[in-house]
Amino acid sequence: MINDTHPLTDGVHMRPAVIGDAESFAETLTRSRDYMRRWDPVRPDAFFTSEGQVQRLTGLLAERDAGRAMPWVLADGDDRVVGAMTLASIERGPFRNARLGYWIDVDHAGKGLATAAVSRVCELARDALGLHRVAAGTVLDNVASQRVLVKCGFELYGTAPRYLHINGAWQDHRMFQRILHDGPPQG
- Report the candidate in 148, 149, 5 with the shortest Cα–Cα distance to residue 72: 5
Q: What is the pTM of this model?
A: 0.96
* Residue 73 zone, left/alpha/beta (φ > 0; ψ -120 to 50; rest): beta
- Report the candidate in 164, 157, 151, 114 with the shortest Cα–Cα distance to residue 133: 157
User: CA-to-CA distance for 98 and 63, rounded, in angstroms?
Assistant: 13
Residue 187 has what pLDDT?
Answer: 64
Tell me if residue 139 falls in helix, strand or coil: strand
Average pLDDT, integer, range 144-157? 98
Using the predicted structure, report yes or no on whether residue 99 has a pLDDT greater than 70: yes
Q: What is the pLDDT of residues 67-91, one digit of tens each?
A: 999 999 999 999 999 999 999 999 9
Where do the DSSP E strands lie in the chain?
6-7, 13-16, 70-75, 81-91, 97-104, 133-139, 155-166, 169-179
Residue 157 has what pLDDT?
Answer: 98
Using the predicted structure, report yes or no on whether residue 185 has a pLDDT greater than 90: no
Using the predicted structure, report yes or no on whether residue 98 has a pLDDT greater than 80: yes
Using the predicted structure, report yes or no on whether residue 29 has a pLDDT greater than 90: yes
User: CA-to-CA distance for 121 and 2, rounded, in angstroms?
Assistant: 9
Residue 130 has what pLDDT?
Answer: 94
Average pLDDT, integer, range 166-170? 97
